[in-house]
Structure 1
Amino acid sequence: MRVLLVDQAILPYHVPVLEALRERHDVRAIIGSSHTSSWDWKTPRRDWIQFINGIVARCTHDYFFSFPSPMIGGFWKRFDAIAPEAVMVKAYSTPIAVSAILYAKRNNLPLLIWWGSHERSSTARYPPITVIRKMLLRRADAFLTYGSLASEYLVRLGISPERIVTSGNVPDLSALGRVDVSRQSPRRRTRFLYVGQYIPRKGISLMLAAFSRLPRDRAELTLIGKGPLEHAIKHAAAQGSGPPLRLHGPSSSIQELSLSYASADVIVLPSKREVYGMAVAEGLAAGCYCLASYQAGVTRDLILRAPLDVGMAHETDDVAGLERNMRQAMQLRESGRIRHKAIAAWGRKRTAKGMAADMERALNIAVRMHGRDTDAAVDADAAVDADASARVKTAASCARASEGLTAAVAPQAPRASVTVCISTYRRVKLLLRQLDAIDAQRGLERCKVVVVVVDNSGDGIIAPLLAKRKGRFPVRVFFAPGPNVAIARNKSVAESTGDFIAFTDDDTVVSKDWLATLLMVQDEYRATAVQGFTRTLLPRNSRLSRYPPVAYIHTIIGATGSHTIELCTANCLVRRDALAGLDGPFNPAYGRMGGEDAEMALRLHLLGARMICAVMADADEPLREERASLYRYINRAYNCNQGLSHMRMEQGVMSRWQVMLKASVVLAGCIVLLPFSLLFGITGLQAVVRRGAGQVGHLSALMGRRDPRFLEGGR
């Protein structure tokens, strides 16, 4: 397959990856510039790389709207000369990248976007920019990301995870792979190394402030790079109030830089914003211990999720935290507890061929997805069948599907015992599919998993059917007639034996990394509860399928690690001991009308529980035909907000005056925006009407109105 790669500038460590891909495909690259301001290395010349080096080609995102349309035709002529069968674009905010995206759509070619930005690195968060970004991204058929944070960001922008391949940037091992990692020569001082630009967003001042507090005779810091802060760094070095500080100019090649890594003990990356953080990946390959901020995309995948102690992370602008990590790294080095050889083995596990394999898999997904409209509705039953067939694999087949670097960043759950609780009501077919999806979970080698199914119907047909089923995990079936989902969930909690309880529904289909991701995020953030991400699949023939409302597309949650006060039991994990302190824990008064999980989460929040989000713990929920109507969409917003206001007032979270003031202001805003919402089509009108209906629901709670199903089968 002839693949056209279009990029603003090709980085030196990407060349080995593309050459590895060229062993399987005919890759041609058109690059806007042969130079980038952040690198002084010269890009290797190859006959398959074509540089334009024009003024328009070198424009950054600041000139996004300024380049003339005839220039698009100039780019397209170059693209036509290659006659590609697929197009791969890195980023989207430069004229040459936009031209490539439009070219792929004009010529009906599969489009793959190579993506790295994430929630913590993005600066353009204004609504108009977000709308433009979504419009461009939805034209892509597949995505290749370097880092799990980047993948989560795409999911939050509305991209389906099935279109995303999570990979990672790989260092050039041609020189780093030959670095001596023994570190046997005795040294009095611990050598810290910073590699990067001298600019404010790199956190230079934070690093210098923390380093100045270290013992003068036990540490030294070397900085390699250039930038506008160079004079300030030289001034700090001249004062001599702290440990020795040395400056070097930028390295001209990876061979020269590898010598600096070989002499260093600890790499420091204190960035306030960082898309990835290549210095950490290179430092690990050289056997260095790494200290990085949480803002870098590399921190989670290569430091926090490493199978051994390879480094530590700190918060942005936390001088004391970085100083503490530096002191601890010094102690580890002085006591000989830094395992340089093991760190190098972990850093060198990622190779150019591995990333090329991920790139090829992403290209195959782009070809397969090509021709499908990203925003088109999907038949619910067909989607469940297709998704279940893909997810109901054995653990071995799932592992084989993870090629390249994806296996390295795939979640691995910590040692834990967990009970998966499912409440069911006469939906045998979907229940069996969900159980098969749970059997296909991966990354649970160190976990003990038990599934508890509670039959909430009155016929008791579930137990005989599941008695004949042979699955990967033991399944225990209990009977709790109602119908009241809160009673069923309370029964499942009472019969749970694990340290954690994972809640899901019988009509959802969880992804293969669902449970491992929930457990890993809980362990990483020491959370009481973790909320996953749920997408809704719309029936093809419903009116909502053409203009799907946001609330029916997915459960809106924050970025991974962000706090939440709501839990949805279709996809969440809770510590069992936290539920033991709650009455119920689910209130049967809400069992018929819905909202029993939100009421439980509110009480948990008032007790000081730490509840966070996990975007990549995802699941699909098909919407039945009778529920996919505009009336139900509006009525759902009214009832949910009505119940939510009752909960908040009963628990003392908000007073009646607070509810009335907030709802009245938002409702007035919806009325004002109603005519303007038509500028965004039916979807914009739906969003405003739904928001307004929700505020009416808040106000109706002040009048004592309740859903007629409230208290049916209650306490």
Structure 2
Amino acid sequence: MESAETPWHIQVVDLEGTGTRTRTVSGRAGAPTTQALVRLHGRSLALVTGTEADLEEALRGAATGEANTERGWAQLPPGPTDGHVPTASVVICTTGRCDMLARAVQAVLAQDTPLLEVLVVDNDPASGATGRALREVDDPRLSIVAAPEPGLSRARNRGLVRARGQVIAFTDDDALVDPSWLRRLLEPFAADPQGRIGAVTGIVLAAQIAHPAQRWFESRGGFPKDLAPRVWTLKEADPALARMGEPGEGGPLHPHTTARVGAGVCMALRARALRQVGPFDVALGAGTPTRGGEDLDMFARILRAGWAIVHTPDALVHHRHRTDEDGLTLQIRGNGSGTAALLTKTVLADPRVLVDLARRVPAVARRLRPGSARVSGADQDVPAGLTRAEIAGFLEGPFVWARAKARAHAVRRARLRGRRQGGTR
């Protein structure tokens, strides 16, 4: 762990009528830097990073200005009424080693809307760590599901097999969901009786900024935190969908990669869409040589299958970032390798994509040029090695994809052999 620095005051400020309600996520009031999500009647309005004086100024502006917190899905018939809200399961994958696991599970169980079940998928059941971490959590909605084959995608898929909800929401064992997180994720689904929305994503903010590595991660962009409602679709949205938000801007490699759509730590997927597009790709994600990309691959497949994805800025998760430079470097390298592995998969499935990608090289190069926000971040002390790690990961992506596919095939063959041997006894 790197040496600590003065922790930021991370908070959520809710404006309700003439009153203000503040919830501290981490840090203390009076810290030199505060990061506050400002909400009006539960709708995200502004993200303020600065001093307490900056926050006070933003709050005065919100109180006197014309804040736009309208949500298109709240204006559409039949509207998000209780009769149309889909049933929901929540899946958290873990190896049991994260010291936040119990808090993460308790935050999900404390949601302000009904949920069918919370499935904690144990990706290292032999250790017994998950059971020990959750032994004090007593709730009939909680189940621990064993997934002994390593890999985040395998764990996610095990959760999908067990989930009974019409919508399956995902978060992580190192993240704390807001009390209204699930309700906000379900709102767009509830306003879509035709069932055109395949996924809904939210925003992910830092749960703690107390170490340089955590600040560097945020400085380079962090997780998606767009405060405007967006609609992502590969075909022209019908009027009802179009009213839910502005068209999503996908970045230089969209829709082959979908990093701006959302992240696996804060997403909800329609079960019917999953039955159409299939499970998470077990050659992608943490615990495989590719080290990432399984959530972005799922978003891309949902879009290609004709579904829409809606981003709501009101579904909030606070994530604890890596606290040391080595851990952050490994994560950033995994981002690069996961992205390149996903692109490799896409090209192998349809070689014509390669021509399209070649046209996009200049835009990608601009993002990685010296001095760009992606390279330097907003802070002057962001290590240049982080970008080198991302580039190195990207360059190795095609090779680790091949290795991951070979490993996935080997696991599948071993499983089939075991079934055949079991059937002959």
With normalisation by structure 1, the TM-score equals 0.41
Q: 1:492: Cα distance to partner?
A: 0.8
Name which of 289, 298, 315 aligns with 1:600: 298
Task: Give the fraction of aligned pairs with identical amino acids, expressed as a percent.
Answer: 20
What's the secondary structure of 1:530's corresponding residue?
Answer: strand
8 Å CA contact 2:213–2:324 kept in 1: the answer is: no
Unpaired runs of at least 5, structure 1: 1-16, 22-108, 111-137, 171-273, 277-296, 306-311, 314-324, 326-410
**Alignment partner, residue 416 of structure 2:** none
8 Å CA contact 1:416–1:448 kept in 2: the answer is: no
**Alignment partner, residue 490 of structure 1:** 157
**Alignment partner, residue 102 of structure 2:** 432
8 Å CA contact 1:486–1:587 kept in 2: the answer is: yes
What's the secondary structure of 1:469's corresponding residue?
Answer: coil
Q: 1:550: Cα distance to partner?
A: 3.4
Q: 1:504: Cα distance to partner?
A: 1.3
**Alignment partner, residue 418 of structure 1:** 88
8 Å CA contact 2:283–2:401 kept in 1: the answer is: no
CA change 1:596–1:630 in 2 (3 A) is: closer
Q: How does 1:514-663 map to 2 (within 5 A)?
A: 514-524=181-191, 527-537=197-207, 540-541=210-211, 543-545=212-214, 547-551=216-220, 553-557=222-226, 559-563=228-232, 565=258, 566-583=261-278, 585-591=279-285, 592=288, 593-626=291-324, 631-632=329-330, 634-652=332-350, 655-663=353-361
Q: 1:532: Cα distance to partner?
A: 1.7
Q: 1:418: Cα distance to partner?
A: 0.9
Unpaired runs of at least 5, structure 2: 1-16, 21-28, 233-247, 249-257, 413-425
What's the secondary structure of 2:124's corresponding residue?
Answer: coil
Cα distance in 1 for partners of 2:305, 2:226 equals 21
| Cα offsets for 1:291-331 (capped at 9, x unmatched) | xxxxxx3654xx965xxxxxx67xxxxxxxxxxx9xxxxxx
Q: 1:529: Cα distance to partner?
A: 0.6
Cα distance in 2 for partners of 1:496, 1:432 equals 20
Q: Does 2:390 match 1:667?
A: no
| Cα offsets for 1:562-621 (capped at 9, x unmatched) | 3264453211111111111233x0111124222222222222221011111122211122
With normalisation by structure 2, the TM-score equals 0.65
8 Å CA contact 1:663–1:696 kept in 2: the answer is: no
| Cα offsets for 1:324-345 (capped at 9, x unmatched) | x9xxxxxxxxxxxxxxxxxxxx
Q: 1:427: Cα distance to partner?
A: 2.5
8 Å CA contact 1:595–1:643 kept in 2: the answer is: yes
- Which protein is richer in helix relative to its size? 1
What's the secondary structure of 1:705's corresponding residue?
Answer: helix
Structure 2 counterpart of 1:605, one-letter code: L
Name which of 394, 400, 408 aligns with 1:706: 400
Cα distance in 1 for partners of 2:165, 2:334 equals 34
Cα distance in 2 for partners of 1:679, 1:484 equals 31
8 Å CA contact 1:414–1:519 kept in 2: the answer is: no
Structure 2 counterpart of 1:667, one-letter code: A
- Which protein is richer in strand relative to its size? 2
8 Å CA contact 1:147–1:167 kept in 2: the answer is: no
Cα distance in 2 for partners of 1:605, 1:531 equals 13
CA change 1:640–1:433 in 2 (3 A) is: same
Structure 2 counterpart of 1:581, one-letter code: Q
8 Å CA contact 1:537–1:621 kept in 2: the answer is: yes
Name which of 504, 507, 511 aligns with 2:171: 504
**Alignment partner, residue 421 of structure 2:** none
CA change 1:640–1:604 in 2 (3 A) is: same
Q: 1:517: Cα distance to partner?
A: 0.6
Cα distance in 2 for partners of 1:674, 1:144 equals 28
Cα distance in 2 for partners of 1:644, 1:684 equals 27
CA change 1:656–1:502 in 2 (3 A) is: same
Q: 1:458: Cα distance to partner?
A: 4.0
8 Å CA contact 2:204–2:318 kept in 1: the answer is: yes
- Higher Cα radius of gyration: 1
Q: 1:415: Cα distance to partner?
A: 3.4
CA change 1:166–1:516 in 2 (3 A) is: farther
Q: 1:693: Cα distance to partner?
A: 6.5
Cα distance in 2 for partners of 1:558, 1:145 equals 10
Q: 1:683: Cα distance to partner?
A: 6.0
